[in-house]
A = this chain, B = another copy of it.
Amino acid sequence: MPTAVHARTTFSRDGDAPWCRGCGHADVFDVLCRALVASGIRPTDAVVVTGVGCSSLITFQLRSYAMHGVHGRALPLALGVKAANPDLHVVVAGGDGDAFSIGANHLIHTARKNPRLTYLIMDNQSYGMTMGQPSPTNVHGEHHALNALGVLLAAGATFVAQAASWRPDEAEALIGQALGHPGFSVVNLLSPCPTFHHGEGIDGAIGIPLVREIGSEHDLGDRLHALSVAFAEGVPCVGLLYRVERPMYALTEGSALVHEQWEETAILEALLDEHRVVWT
């Protein structure tokens, strides 16, 4: 029951979308396409890297380069792409299961390293693709949810924002800022799964879910303040929690890795010389 036929745009193919009616991921996809265009990025220079899940199906709707990887490993793949060619605009995307369950190890280490990557996490608090089991971010009864924003902040992400699929303009603006951030930027996108999930805070079934706007008057460089916002109980917050700059991961800077045969012979001969043994 595809939602709608996407219009062919710079970033989006035409054809049926793969998501259920009302799925937040479809909205996130639209917003991403708009933000990419607004940031002046061309499909040819963009690589969108995902894991596996309903959210990761965005790769097949895109007209850019993309990797639809394996579940939970989008970040290492993306880091490899960016290291090999730092000129590319690399966007990582996927579900909360991908990011916070099977893939959280990579998330922490990417946050620590601070490469110039933007990660869009489509958080429906569940594993949509496998029929809606609660994910680590799921808020319900006895289940203790992972404070994903808090973990990101603690791990060293330099840009942490949260948006909601049902507030597209704000989401687009935040994604735009993330794309411009010199370092690892994460936008956690509350993106309801109307088919399976009836969780707290993001469930559109009960009308438009409430969110709390963070506003921008606070000191964006104050990590403890950002953490206090992330930890606050009640309806989820939306907005930019934290933004600082620190040195980016050196490996993903510099120029593209190319194998240029005309230059390398001399260097290789010198390498061989290092290991040379001559009878004297």
Q: How many residues of A contact B (CB 8 A)?
A: 31
Minimum distance in angstroms from A139 CB to a CB of chain B: 12
Question: A142 to B105, alpha carbons, bound, how many Å?
Answer: 21
The majority secondary structure among interface residues of chain A is helix
Find chain B residues with CB under 8 A from A230 CB. 154
Which residues of chain A (101-131) have a CB below 8 Å from chain B?
A: 101-105, 108-109, 112-114
Q: Pick the contact of A104 from B101, B109, B250 — CB < 8 Å?
A: B109
Minimum distance in angstroms from A177 CB to a CB of chain B: 22
Find chain B residues with CB under 8 A from A105 CB. 102-105
Q: Which residue of B lies closest to A147 (CB)?
A: B154
Minimum distance in angstroms from A80 CB to a CB of chain B: 18
Q: Which of A188-196, A199-207, A211-219, A221-229 contacts B (4 or more CB under 8 A)?
A: A221-229
Which chain A residues have a beta carbon within 8 Å of chain B's beta carbons?
Answer: 101-105, 108-109, 112-114, 136, 142, 144-147, 150-151, 153-156, 223-224, 227-228, 230-231, 246-247, 250
Other A-B pairs, 4, CB within 8 Å; known A103-B105, A109-B146: A109-B136, A142-B250, A147-B155, A151-B151
24 A-B pairs (CB sep. < 8 Å): A101-B109, A103-B105, A104-B104, A104-B105, A105-B105, A108-B151, A109-B136, A109-B146, A112-B144, A112-B145, A113-B144, A142-B247, A142-B250, A144-B156, A146-B155, A146-B156, A147-B154, A151-B151, A151-B154, A151-B155, A154-B155, A224-B227, A224-B228, A224-B231
